[in-house]
Amino acid sequence: MSDIKNIRDQFLSKLKNELSLDEINSIKTELFGKNGQISSLFKTVGSIPESDRKTFAADLNKIKDELQSLISEKIKEIETKEVNQKLEKEKVDITLPERPFVRGKIHPVSQTIDEISSIFSEIGFSVEEGPDVENEYNNFTALNTPDNHPARDMHDTFYLDENKEVLLRTHTSPVQIRTMLKDKPPFKIIAPGRTYRSDSDQTHAPMFHQVEGLHIDKDINMGHLKGCLNYFIKEFFEVEKIKMRFRPSHFPFTEPSAEVDIGYEIRDGKIVIGEGDQWLEILGCGMVHPNVLKNVKVDPAKYQGYAFGIGIDRLAMLKYGINDLRAFFDCDYRWLNHFGFDPLDVPTNYRGLSR
């Protein structure tokens, strides 16, 4: 017992002094480290006569708890003191004059989304949003995508669980499913947002931006789709005339399906959108497949509609002369300062989107 008392008195005396965090940790090691004094005494409990063992162990535990508690209090006291000193040094004097700052710029992708929203709002479309983390049903099954479709393969899709039931959405089309499930027709929406696919090069990124368009109502046909896209392309590229063609294609969620090309020409080394003699693919579209309508409890005999998907990053690249998609995500302020937009330059149709 005298050894235990001596250790207690010795270290209580030490802990009363003004100590640094390193010094306290050193004391903690002396007491409770692998070969510390308290640790060593615990190793001798088995050799104590049985009649004294219980008392010895109880006294040792009591002193151990006392010293550990005191050490914890000292550490907390020091840490609190350090935080207070740091706060004291870093506090801001609000009476000082403001520091000069450089005004930030709006990213071209954000500007393009605002431009797209402004154009479609003029013809009655509302903006809907959905989560980036989606379930397999909304992303594939409800959109009439069969189980063996290559789009489901892990080379294209980022799955978040072993059962492939949760994923990062590969397009913004799940938003149309969510919208139609929660409401009743007619629907006239666009859904801009981030999408994810396992692909990366000069014109593809693992994370990119897409806008989905959907119009469901009675007596909707391909003519309505063509008129809508013709209006959008002219307004977005701010040209009076546009040459546009539909090429037959295939998407599981539309029938018939089409790729849309627009005319362009190269002038002074730049792409000029309009009525040139060359063609540029710009989006995919089609009439909503009857199976998709059935999956969201909409009667395809009564309602029809069209849908389209447009790559927002690609539109921004075409309109603003950006030749590398990867630059969008490099976080280079010099690039943003060159291609970015004034925060007060809110896109509006009546005065020109980018003027």
Question: Token pair for residue 194?
Answer: 């981030």
End-to-end CA gap in the chain:
88
Instruction: State residue 180's pLDDT score.
Output: 96
Within 195-268, residue ranges assigned H as helices are 222-237
Instruction: State residue 353's pLDDT score.
Output: 60
Instruction: State residue 193's pLDDT score.
Output: 94
User: SS3 of 72, please?
Assistant: helix
Instruction: State residue 10's pLDDT score.
Output: 79
Long-range contact pairs involving 295-298 (C-beta distance under 8 Å, separation at least 24): 295/141, 295/142, 295/143, 295/144, 295/177, 296/142, 296/177, 296/180, 296/181, 297/180, 297/181, 298/180, 298/185, 298/216
Instruction: State residue 101's pLDDT score.
Output: 63
| CATH architecture for segment(s) 108-348 | 2-Layer Sandwich (3.30)
pTM for the complete prediction? 0.67
**Residue whose structure tokens are 């709002």:** 121
In whole angstroms, give the CA distance from residue 289 to residue 168: 23
Question: Are 222 and 256 within 8 A, CB to CB?
Answer: yes
Domain ranges, ordered by start, for the chain: 2-90, 108-348
In whole angstroms, give the CA distance from residue 53 to residue 38: 16
Q: What is the mean pLDDT of each run of 10 residues along the chain (355 residues)?
A: 73 80 83 80 79 80 84 86 83 72 83 94 94 94 86 78 91 95 94 87 78 95 95 91 91 94 84 83 94 95 95 89 84 86 70 54
Instruction: State residue 42's pLDDT score.
Output: 78
Instruction: State residue 141's pLDDT score.
Output: 93
